[in-house]
Chains A and B, each alone.
Chain A
Amino acid sequence: MVSLDARSQACNTWNEMLTYLRQFHSPVVRQWFSDLEPVEIAGGVLTVRCQTLIQQQHLSMKCRPVFVEALQSVTGKLLGINFICTGSAGLNPVMNLCNEVPLSPDYIFENFVVGPANDLAHRACQAVAMQPGRVYNPLFIHGAPGLGKTHLLQATCQELLQRQSDIRILYITCEQFVNHFMESISSGNQGQFRAMFRSKCDVLVVDDIHFLAGRDRSQEEFFHTFNALLPQGKQIILSSDSPPRDIPSMEERLVSRFANGLLAEIEPPCFETRLIIVKRKSHLRGVNLPDDVAEFVAKRCENNVREIEGAITKLMGQAMLNGGQYTMALAQTALGDLLPQASRMVSILQVVGHVTRFFNVRVPDLQGKKRHKSITLPRQVSMYLVRKYTQYSLEETGGFFGGRDHTTVMHSVKTIERLRQTDSGFARQIEQIENGLEREISRPAPIAASQAMS
């Protein structure tokens, strides 16, 4: 039994550690750290009790070094740290079956931001978590990378475990499925492989199933696994970056089986959803961003949530250097370089549309051979902005403007950059065009496209 004294000592140390971590290692800090319970410091080890096995795995595998550092700095002693878990939700033997993909404690339903783009997928996963094997079987979630497929899959797993701690879940990436299968062939131990997938699990969750593309034998094996599980009422959840029919060289019988249950698509989130995501994610890391900064981040990162996460990490890093204040200026310096990457969706036409409207010239003039100043300047500005806002190469850009050489494009970019620095009136003009362009980018895509056409 741990004495009261030892416990309060451990508590004090723990609180000091959390303060230290927030100050120096804010990227690892999570809100649920406050749920962790320090037990005692004995035998050179601080023992910390976690609520779930998932938290324990996450802390042991990912956060141990920074915790040790914090512990040593706070106590001035050479101590180690141990994370234990005695909760009922923790002891699930099959979870350990595929230790390669530990579930992340961040990926739970409460942390998932629901918007019109992912509502269906979210509801479907919740329904499956309530009644595995009864509704939507198989559940097939597809969407572009970084939109939350893995989050939903893991949240479903964790919800299932919460509801029924003895449920046997096999959560695996498709790559691991293929690797295990290859291994079983080379070691001649296919019986064990089949037992693991066909009779030792209640729920099979496979992430990134499109990895099966072009792997005939793995596809066949998966087909049989699929057929063995479904009649037993075992739940199957799959995720992919495209709908079944669009996965290249996937066998027809698999495609039809995947489509047999529910197909739920996750689309890129709209601005409002992104804003909530930004706030939620930063809150999870223990930071409260001011509204204008959050909006700025949401505006800048429009394609996927991973970008948002990266942006928040950057912001936190920058803020740490500048005394912990989150201001607009800070956000602009921290995320300035995100712009060209994030604006992948901007087309040349959009850019040229803005420039032609501003300078009142025609697109064919920009593409033609005229070399009057009234044409060359807008042409150079267009090239400069195309380079800045799109991913087109020098050659592609030159090609669009009447088959010009890539050196011409380089020259234009340099000229405009120089002019922007020397001529403040000109710089204002460019800024005006850029502002217009940015406003348009932050609006939903379809409207933007139609405007560019007009």
Chain B
Amino acid sequence: MKVIVHRQALVEVLGLACSVVLTRSPKPVLSCVRISTATVGGSRVLRIVATDLEITIETSLSQVDIKQDGIALLPAHKLLDIVNNSPDENLALDVVGEKATILGADSMFTLLGFNSEDFPPVSGFEGAPDCTLSAGLLKTMLDRTRFAAAKEMTRYAMNGVLFERKGKKLSMVATDGHRLAQARDEIELADERESESIIPIKAINMLERLLVDPEQTVQLQFREGKLFAQLISKAAGEKTPSAEGLITASLSASLVEGNFPPYKDVIPKDCDHKASINRDKFRSAVQRAALLTNEESKSIRLSFGNKNLTITGRAPEMGEAKVEMPIDYTSETMDVGFNPIYLQDALKVAPTEEITFELRAPNKPGLIKSGQGFLYVIMPVSLP
């Protein structure tokens, strides 16, 4: 294989690959990326595949001049280090057998690789996609939910985002046992099938990194306990991306087995105290009140009064904070405690300027709604 490649572009795709590939692995081939030449949609590209057996990503690099076809299996992190530290604009990659030579203006690196036959087989899309949506929509929905997924590894079914589809209706849900976020929308191209899958958070984060261009189209397929996703760019002269378009990246990931918590039970239905609040003012008020909170019991007090919300933070040995703001609220007064971080997480992604905050009692979960597409349930904390 003999190619000349744009260095900065190579850094980007190798960066993506390295976030999948394991740094240390009992099988050395698993710490490698597979680099090969290919033709996609009529143009010559360099294809880079990385896997940790759970997640596989495949990216295409078009800023390349291919002199001679070939295939290579090279240690991912070392290759990235070499390419990243080079001052050149372009680099020449020359592979003979298992040995690669990377040539810059003033440098020459020789890197020992492995036999490309040893790389685990990679399965991809088969047949028609289960659903198709724009990369922008998918990214928005993921951003509105993924922050709420459980971080500890013990809660397997919650270490992911529930992807639920009924015909055209698409819903994503994530929860960590303290809060729950749901994003809903409709997709255009869909059949009447219903599906329900839990995508692990690592795959979600990876997928999110691939969604750089909101104009692209994403095709998804759920098959044999796995998610397959591919990103398609518009072919030249086309209005919408089609199957003939250029597949720029694809991802496959094992889904989380197990049952997602019964989230519909958790969404409160009979909240009779409703407040309408300006999102940005609320976020700023929460942020300021949280400056003076105790490290152990991070909580702020929200006092809902007539047309008025008072947010107070208190750190016993430092002092107190009090922020007031006008809101649209006419029910009886109520004091509720919340973790300010959980509140801010939701306010960061709430799509509409006005949000509604629905409550029932100080010890019952609160519900934040923003437009049709976003819903957030948050458990209160007990006030001192």
Contact = CB atoms under 8 A, between A and B. Distances in A.
A69 B365 CA distance: 9
Given A72-B364, A79-B266, A43 B179 contact: no
B222 to A, nearest CB: 20
Contact of A43 (B156, B266, B365): B156
A42 B155 contact: yes
Given A44-B175, A64-B265, A81-B262, A76 B156 contact: no
Interface residues of B, number: 29
Contact of B379 (A45, A65, A77, A82): A77
A65 B265 CA distance: 7
A68 B267 CA distance: 10
Contacts of B331: none
Contacts of B262: 45, 80-82
Contact of A45 (B150, B179, B261): B261
Interface residues of A, number: 17
A72 B262 CA distance: 13
A81 to B, nearest CB: 7
A74 to B, nearest CB: 10
Interface string B312-327: 0000000000000000
B178 interface: yes
Nearest to B363: A73
A78 interface: yes
B365 A44 contact: no
Interface string A55-75: 000000000110011001100
Nearest to B155: A43
Contacts of A65: 265, 269
Contacts of B269: 65
Interface string B243-280: 00000000000000011011101100100000000000
Contact of A44 (B155, B380, B381): B155
A73 B380 CA distance: 10
A76 B379 contact: yes
Given A72-B365, A78-B177, A43 B261 contact: yes
Given A42-B155, A43-B155, A43-B258, A77 B178 contact: yes
Given A43-B259, A44-B261, A79 B177 contact: yes
A49 to B, nearest CB: 16
A43 B158 contact: yes
Given A68-B265, A69-B364, A78 B377 contact: yes
Nearest to A68: B265
B179 A78 contact: yes
Nearest to B179: A78
Contacts of A42: 154-155
A78 B381 contact: no
Nearest to A43: B157
Most buried by A among B177, B259, B378: B177
A78 B180 contact: yes
Interface in A8-54: 42-45
B382 interface: yes
Interface centre among A64, A73, A76, A78, by most chain B C-beta atoms within 10 angstroms, is A78
Contacts of B263: 80
A78 B266 contact: yes
B379 A78 contact: yes
A43 B175 CA distance: 10
Contacts of B378: 78
Contacts of B364: 69, 72-73
A116 B71 CA distance: 92
A78 B365 contact: yes
Interface in B165-184: 175-180
Interface in A78-110: 78-82
A77 B377 CA distance: 11
Interface in B334-353: none
Contacts of A80: 261-263, 265-266
Contacts of B180: 78
A81 B179 contact: no
Nearest to B159: A43
B177 A77 contact: yes
B261 A79 contact: yes
A162 to B, nearest CB: 29
A80 B382 CA distance: 20
Interface in B270-324: none
B382 A76 contact: yes
A50 to B, nearest CB: 16
B265 A44 contact: no
Contacts of B158: 43-44
B299 to A, nearest CB: 11
Nearest to A65: B265
A76 B362 CA distance: 11
Interface in B346-371: 363-365
Nearest to B379: A78
A408 B178 CA distance: 66
Contact of A76 (B259, B377, B381): B381
B178 A78 contact: yes
A105 to B, nearest CB: 20
A77 B342 CA distance: 13
Contacts of B150: 44
B127 to A, nearest CB: 32
Interface in A378-400: none
B268 to A, nearest CB: 9
B261 to A, nearest CB: 4
A29 B90 CA distance: 74
Contacts of B265: 64-65, 68, 80-81
A80 B263 CA distance: 7
Given A68-B266, A78-B179, 13 more contacts: A43-B155, A43-B258, A44-B158, A44-B175, A45-B261, A65-B269, A68-B265, A72-B364, A78-B177, A78-B178, A78-B180, A78-B379, A80-B263
Interface of A: 42-45, 64-65, 68-69, 72-73, 76-82
13 contacts: A42-B154, A42-B155, A43-B156, A44-B150, A45-B262, A72-B266, A72-B364, A78-B178, A78-B180, A78-B266, A80-B261, A81-B262, A81-B265
The 6 A-B residue pairs with the shortest CB-CB distance, nearest first, are A44-B261, A43-B157, A80-B262, A80-B261, A78-B379, A77-B177
Interface of B: 150, 154-158, 175-180, 258-259, 261-263, 265-266, 269, 363-365, 377-382
